[in-house]
């Protein structure tokens, strides 16, 4: 066995159907008495309901989070938090809402309590992002890791089928890349396999039956594990491709991840044989040659759009992305080969199977 380093994330996790009803008690247990609830405009109503439940410990509602944390939105939120007499940010929402709370935490060192309502996994990481002049930069800081995370699968029932499916596959991408990470370790690999199995079995059920609570539970469980994977080990070629698709071409985050994952794992199918054999087993296919196709078929069954051109990638996109990825690569268990990558991205552009 290879030597490894493992560091657990210091997050208090509360998980359960209906758990968000205990938010006030949990906040008080942690000593928070002046709480600012943060949401997107679309989840303002849910935020208002939560604020009401918090009664006297709620210091206000800030429903202004938007995708990718634009710098002007972040600056206004930081000023608002500084001027308010608060001791905690309570983020109710997906990666965009938690992302805004993270910038407030970065600048003010206020603690975050997160109630995630998608499967993106930001709540389990020290990673933050900020977008200025269409350029998204990311960084890591321990202050942005939420102190407490409350998973209530009931809240995810309101997430539409398409967003649920893509967000779930976004989570699966974190788990998949953790399997062949440069700093992979046995604990995280166990979590990754468990996450992939939980997502693979739950997503097809919940896209057909949005309120199926056992499927929602399993998906939240898988997403939690995937979030730990993302927060614990480095990501590889797939995340590099998706950061380029999002950062340069402004493609929607979760959809870009969902579509591209099939091609990234096909590219890496023979790179880390142990990892890919485990992935094949988790995806229930007989060999690592089939992992890309298995993810492609899973996307198909979930009703996810299959072609990058259908979510906004221009015709020259595949060649541009392949070049940018090869010019400033992340770690990957195999070399970056422009021609092979460009060929696969052309298939992803058209929505053809990876092989
Ligand atoms: P999102 O937070 O943008 O949410 C998508 C939409 O769904 C929003 O309009 C939101 O209001 C709505 N929504 C969320 N939950 C809902 C629910 N339960 N019911 C009804 N509507 C709901 O999407 P996301 O994919 O969770 O987050 C994407 C962002 O998160 C990106 O900017 C990405 O870069 C970032 N991210 C960061 C990390 C990290 O570790 N820092 C990890 C993953 C994603």
- What are the tens digits of pLDDT across the range 179-217? 999 999 999 999 999 999 999 999 999 999 999 999 999
Q: Is the CB of 64 under 6 A from ligand 1?
A: no
Q: Is the CB of 292 under 6 A from ligand 1?
A: no
3-state secondary structure of 89: strand
Q: Which of 91, 105, 112, 122 has most ligand 1 atoms within 8 Å of its beta carbon, as the pocket-test mutant?
A: 122
Quickly state the pLDDT bin for 1 (edges 50, 70, 90): confident
Q: Give pLDDT, residue 186.
A: 97
Dihedral, CA atoms, 222, 223, 226, 231, nearest 10 degrees?
-150
Q: Which of 94, 132, 213 has most ligand 1 atoms within 8 Å of its beta carbon, as the pocket-test mutant?
A: 94
Q: Is 89 exposed, middle or buried (0-12, 13-18, 19+ CB in 10 A)?
A: buried
- What are the tens digits of pLDDT across the range 148-185? 999 999 999 999 999 999 999 999 999 999 999 999 99
Fill in the DSSP letter of residue 337.
Answer: -
Q: Is the CB of 42 under 6 A from ligand 1?
A: yes
Residue nearest to atom 38 of ligand 1 (CA): 122
Q: Give pLDDT, residue 151.
A: 98
Q: Is the pLDDT of residue 134 over 90?
A: no
Quickly state the pLDDT bin for 51 (edges 50, 70, 90): very high
Measured from the Cα of 124, ligand 1's closest atom is 40
Q: Is 246 exposed, middle or buried (0-12, 13-18, 19+ CB in 10 A)?
A: buried
Q: Give pLDDT, residue 220.
A: 98
Residue nearest to atom 28 of ligand 1 (CA): 95
Longest dimension (CA), the chain: 61
Within 99-238, strands assigned E span 112-116, 127-132, 135-140, 148-151
Residue nearest to atom 17 of ligand 1 (CA): 159
What is the distance in A from the centroid of ligand 1 to the CA of 65? 10
Q: Is the CB of 268 under 6 A from ligand 1?
A: no
Tell me what the mean pLDDT of segment 95-110 comes to. Answer: 98
Within 215-290, strands assigned E span none
Summary mean pLDDT of the chain? 97
């Amino acid at each position: 066995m290879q030597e490894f380093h493992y560091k657990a994330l210091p997050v208090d996790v509360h998980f359960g159907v209906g758990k968000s009803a205990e938010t006030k008690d949990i906040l008080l247990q942690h000593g928070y008495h002046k709480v600012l609830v943060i949401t997107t405009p679309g989840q303002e109503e849910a935020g208002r309901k939560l604020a009401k439940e918090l009664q006297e410990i709620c210091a206000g509602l800030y429903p202004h989070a938007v995708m990718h944390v634009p710098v002007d939105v972040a600056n206004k939120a930081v000023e608002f938090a500084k001027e308010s007499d608060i001791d905690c940010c309570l983020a109710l929402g997906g990666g965009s809402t938690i992302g805004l709370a993270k910038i407030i935490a970065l600048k003010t060192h206020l603690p975050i309590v997160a109630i995630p309502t998608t499967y993106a996994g930001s709540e389990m990481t020290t990673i933050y992002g900020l977008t200025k002049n269409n350029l998204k930069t990311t960084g890591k800081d321990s202050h942005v890791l939420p102190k407490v995370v409350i998973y209530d699968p009931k809240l995810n029932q309101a997430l539409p089928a398409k967003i649920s499916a893509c967000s779930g596959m976004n989570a699966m991408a974190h788990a998949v890349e953790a399997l062949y990470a440069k700093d992979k370790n046995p604990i995280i690999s166990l979590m990754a396999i468990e996450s992939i199995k939980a997502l693979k079995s739950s997503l097809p059920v919940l896209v057909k039956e949005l309120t199926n609570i056992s499927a929602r539970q399993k998906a939240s469980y898988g997403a939690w594990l995937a979030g730990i994977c993302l927060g614990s080990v480095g990501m590889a070629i797939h995340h590099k491709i998706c950061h380029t698709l999002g950062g340069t071409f402004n493609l929607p985050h979760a959809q870009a991840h969902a579509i591209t994952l099939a091609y990234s794992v096909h590219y890496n199918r023979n790179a880390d044989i142990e990892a890919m054999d485990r992935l094949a087993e988790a995806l229930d296919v007989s060999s690592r040659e089939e992992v890309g196709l298995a993810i492609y078929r899973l996307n198909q069954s979930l009703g996810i759009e299959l072609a990058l051109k259908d979510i906004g990638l221009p015709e020259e996109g595949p060649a541009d992305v392949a070049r940018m990825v090869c010019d400033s690569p992340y770690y990957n268990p195999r070399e970056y080969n422009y021609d092979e990558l460009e060929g696969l991205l052309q298939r992803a552009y058209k929505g053809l199977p990876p092989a």
